[in-house]
Amino acid sequence: MPRVVVHVMPKPEILDPQGKAVAAALPRLGFEGIASVRQGKRFELEVEGEVTEQVLATLREAAETLLSNPVIEDVVAIEVEDAAHGKAQA
Amino acid sequence: MPRVVVHVMPKPEILDPQGKAVAAALPRLGFEGIASVRQGKRFELEVEGEVTEQVLATLREAAETLLSNPVIEDVVAIEVEDAAHGKAQA
């Protein structure tokens, strides 16, 4: 079954308290040299049937309406992963 | 500044209520044909200086201890993104 991976990140101008918390914790745990951290989401969607251009357009719409909040988040990438064909940017 | 992207997903055997909620909402909003959804995390880390093998080993350790909970989550990918060199799997 083909898998579509949707990557969502907070918009650059939006404060990211989770990322800030991770960035602050890293040096305390001995991990130095990280200037900043931002935390977003990764969705893996198992698609029934083939991922056609039309399916992809629908998924892009779902990504921008349901999987992300367009006021504060960007869909930074949508990838199609296929066991047979590997990974492709969409 | 090079960026390292860490991808974290709930382990396959772990229940994922967020993903289940999204999967249930999709058909209600008119998006059909999605068999299942799983929701994970995506971290973007801006690294000071070069991403050497040693830096990457440290980041891998941070990913597996701080960025993910190894009891319920897997670090599924660590990618190095460089403005000059594009994307590479690490």
- Classified as helix, coil or strand, A58 is helix
At residue B49, the 3 state secondary structure works out as coil
Alpha-carbon span A24 to A50, nearest angstrom: 43
> What is this model's ipTM?
0.90
The model's pLDDT over A9-64, given as tens digits with 9 standing for 90+, comes to 999 999 999 999 999 999 999 999 999 999 999 999 999 999 999 999 999 999 99
Instruction: pLDDT tens for chain B, 90 residues: list them.
Output: 899 999 999 999 999 999 999 999 999 999 999 999 999 999 999 999 999 999 999 999 999 999 999 999 999 999 999 765 556 666
Identify the pLDDT of residue A82.
76
DSSP H or E stretch at residue A17: helix A17-28
CA of B89: which chain A residue's CA is closest? A87
Q: Which residues of A touch B49 (CB under 8 A)?
A: 33
The residue-averaged pLDDT of A62-74 equals 96
Q: Do A31 and B58 touch (CB under 8 A)?
A: yes
Ranges of each domain in chain A: 3-13+39-89
State residue B74 phi and psi, 5-degree precision: -115, 140
CATH superfamily of B3-89: Phosphoribosylformylglycinamidine synthase subunit PurS (3.30.1280.10)
CB distance B26–A55 less than 8 Å? no
Contact A43 B38 (CB under 8 A): yes
Nearest-CA residue of chain B relative to A25? B66
CB distance B31 to A20 below 8 Å? no
Q: Please state which architecture CATH assigns to domain A3-13+39-89.
A: 2-Layer Sandwich (3.30)
β-pairing verdict for A86-89 and A73-82: antiparallel
Name every chain B residue with its beta carbon within 8 A of the beta carbon of A26. 62, 66
**For A81-90, what is each residue's pLDDT tens digit?**
976 555 666 6
Which tokens belong to B24? 């249930």
How far apart CA B34 and CA B27 sit, in angstroms, is: 8
- Rounded to a whole number, what is the distance in Å from the CA of B84 to chain A's nearest CA? 19
